[in-house]
Amino acid sequence: MKSMPSRKVEISASIMCLDWLRAGEQLAELETLDIDYLHWDIVDGRFAPDFTMGSSVINCFREQTKLRSDYHLMVEEPSSLFATFDVTPGDVFSIHQECSRNLHRDLVSLRRRGAKVGLALCPATPIATLDYIIEDIDVVLIMTVNPGFMGQKLVAQTIRKIALLREMIDKMELDIKISVDGNVNCENIPQMVSAGADILVGGSSGLFRNDLSLTESVAKIKDKINEGLNTELW
């Protein structure tokens, strides 16, 4: 499979991984670094372990930034939370295929609110589950680790999953972006991009690193994106 050097790969900053004692400072710095989205992980402790931020915290952050939002709901019955989050044009709102009782209805509801509609898949969920719904979405979020805690290692089979999804989307001639979330670091980014990723969610292993500033981390991520765009996966 050959990559497409002309396509733009976007970066979504995972806010759950920032330094919360320097949140305002880091948010301001992200504004200057050509970041495309702020990624909001909402975890309920039921579908996935751990708990993260709620709508009051997220909406407060949103008031301080012009960056688009990239919502990722890792919750049971996600439709119960739709109305609690602000949505503006260009925002992405992803729910899990594994959580929704009436997936089509939930996606229609999100689109009516003005969001770009995303569907997230856990590492072991096959892309065949996208049959009969793929034409109704804008983004497929491939989890390359299991939902929950940050700092997990890549589930290796998910690289092949990204490539197969890219092949499916291209064959159907659909305008759908592939987002990748989980262990997005300098080692894994080239193969993620070469496989077909369009959006990379930068977390603790790639963007919010203890050994680099945000400016240095973004520069390294962009270098690795270019490497992936100009190499073949297999």
Catalytic residues: 41, 181
Place of tokens 């979330």: 181
Contact by Cβ (8 Å): 202, 11 = yes
Contact by Cβ (8 Å): 214, 233 = no
Cα 119 to Cα 105: distance, rounded to the nearest angstrom: 13
Tokens encoding 203: 């977390």
Tokens encoding 54: 């709620």
**Cβ within 8 Å of residue 19, ≥6 positions away:** 26, 208
Cα 112 vs. chain centroid, distance in angstroms? 21
Backbone angles phi, psi at 82, to 5 degrees: -55, -45
Tokens encoding 116: 């770009």
Cα 16 to Cα 18: distance, rounded to the nearest angstrom: 6
Contact by Cβ (8 Å): 81, 55 = yes
Contact by Cβ (8 Å): 120, 95 = yes
Q: At what angle do helices 214-229 and 23-31 cross, to 10 degrees?
A: 40
